[in-house]
A = this chain, B = another copy of it.
Amino acid sequence: MSEEEKNKLLAFAARLYYMEGFSQGEVARVLSVSQAKVSRLLKQARAKGIVRIQVEDFQPYDGELEEKLEKAFSLKKAVVLRVPPASSAEAARRSMGFLSAPKVMELLKGVKTLGITGGRSLMETIRFLPSQGWEPGLQVVQLMGNVGAVALESDALELGRMIARKGGGTFFSLNTPAFLADGDTRNALFRHEQVKSVRNLFKSLDAALVGIGTLEDSLFIYQEALKPAQIRTLLAKGAVGEICGRFFGPKGKECPSPYKDQVVSIRLEELVKVPLVIGITMGRDRAPAVAAALRGGLVKALVIDAEGAEGLLEYVSQEPKTKAAEKSRGKGGRA
Chain A residues packing against B (C-beta within 8 Å): 1, 5-9, 11-15, 18-19, 29-33, 45, 49-58, 60, 82, 84-88, 90-91, 94-95, 98, 128
Question: What 19 additional pairs, Cβ within 8 angstroms, besides A5-B85, A9-B84, A31-B84?
Answer: A1-B85, A6-B85, A7-B56, A8-B82, A11-B56, A15-B55, A18-B53, A18-B55, A19-B55, A30-B94, A31-B91, A32-B86, A32-B88, A32-B91, A33-B87, A45-B55, A50-B55, A51-B56, A52-B55
Residues of B within 8 A of A85 (CB): 1, 5-6, 8-9
Residues of B within 8 A of A6 (CB): 85
Which of B29, B51, B87, B91 contacts A53, CB < 8 Å? B51
Query: In the complex the two chains form, is B58's CB within 8 Å of A8's CB?
Result: yes
Q: Give the most central of A33, A54, A87, A90: most B CB within 10 Å.
A: A54
A50 to B84: give the CA distance in the assembly, Å.
15
Query: In the complex the two chains form, is A32's CB within 8 Å of B94's CB?
Result: yes
Residues of B within 8 A of A55 (CB): 11, 14-15, 18-19, 45, 50-52
Q: How many copies does the complex hold?
A: 2
Query: In the complex the two chains form, is A60's CB within 8 Å of B12's CB?
Result: yes
The 9 closest A-B pairs by CB, nearest first: A32-B91, A11-B58, A12-B84, A5-B85, A50-B56, A14-B55, A30-B98, A52-B54, A9-B84
Which of B13, B51, B84 contacts A8, CB < 8 Å? B84
Residues of B within 8 A of A58 (CB): 8, 11-12, 14-15
A-B contact pairs, 10 of them (CB 8 A): A7-B56, A12-B84, A12-B95, A18-B55, A19-B55, A30-B98, A31-B84, A32-B88, A32-B90, A49-B56
User: A29 — nearest CB in chain B belongs to which residue?
Assistant: B94
User: A82 — nearest CB in chain B belongs to which residue?
Assistant: B8
